[in-house]
Amino acid sequence: MISNKKHLFKKTITYRFFFLILVTMFTTASVQAGEPEYMKLNYKNIPAMEIKGYWDTSGVFVATDLEELPKLRRPKLRGEIQDIDYEKKTVMMFGLEISISDKTQFLESGIENYNINNLRPGYRVEVSCKVGQDGKWEARKIKVKDIKQNNKIKGSLTRIAVDGSPPDTIEIFGLHIILIEETDVNDPTGSIDY
């Protein structure tokens, strides 16, 4: 009886060991980036980018399309307001807290004295920002009407972590953007560059 238990124990351990090896092989194989489109970019020469994509439930912006911009620029975000703090006068977009001041301009509002109190979570807006020395984002202009449905980020790159091994990321003043193998690279005319 004890001999059968030892034999069964050894057999179970052996199966678990092989299962662990198989899982490791499949997991490792599935996370290899291969030759993604974005690896063709020479990031050292790119001052700024326009990035289309989506906000993932895990809390990151996933890039589906990249396009080089010719010069440095302040950040601009287009997407949905995730949260609002009316007391602190801040909105949350793509996980970033953006402060709104009396100097913030509201564009194409159609309402006089449009301000943060007119905004709600879920509204789609386009926010032109500046980033202070302390890294805090401030809204310069907020467009509140006729906002396109795709999410977009424009801005100068402040950090690049791209080596072809996931997760590859770029940053615009602390806003993390994940690059995936399916991320397309567009030329400045908007066509996909193969």
Q: How far is CA 22 from each of CA 10, 18, 26, 165, 168, rounded to the nearest angstrom?
A: 18, 6, 6, 21, 25
CA 1 to CA 64: how far, in whole Å?
60
> Please, are residues 125 and 133 in contact by the beta-carbon 8 Å criterion?
no
Model pLDDT for residues 47-99, shown as the tens digit of each residue? 899 999 999 988 899 999 999 998 999 999 999 999 999 999 999 999 999 99
Q: How many CB atoms lie within 10 A of CB 139?
A: 24
Strand ranges in the chain using DSSP code E only, listed in sequence order:
48-55, 61-69, 76-80, 83-85, 90-93, 96-99, 105-107, 124-131, 137-143, 151-156, 159-161, 168-172, 175-186
Please state the domain extents for the chain: 1-30, 37-186
Residue 72 carries which DSSP code? -
CA 110 to CA 158: how far, in whole Å?
36
What pTM was computed for the model? Answer: 0.75
- Is 27 or 130 the better-scoring residue by pLDDT? 130
Q: Which of 39-48, 129-138, 175-184 is predicted least confidently?
A: 39-48
Q: How many CB atoms lie within 10 A of CB 180?
A: 16
Establish whether the linkage from the previous residue to 70 is cis, with ω within 30° of 0: no
CA 172 to CA 144: how far, in whole Å?
23
- Is 74 or 17 the better-scoring residue by pLDDT? 74
Q: One-letter amino acid identity for 59?
A: G
- Tell me the CATH number for domain 37-186: 2.40.50.320
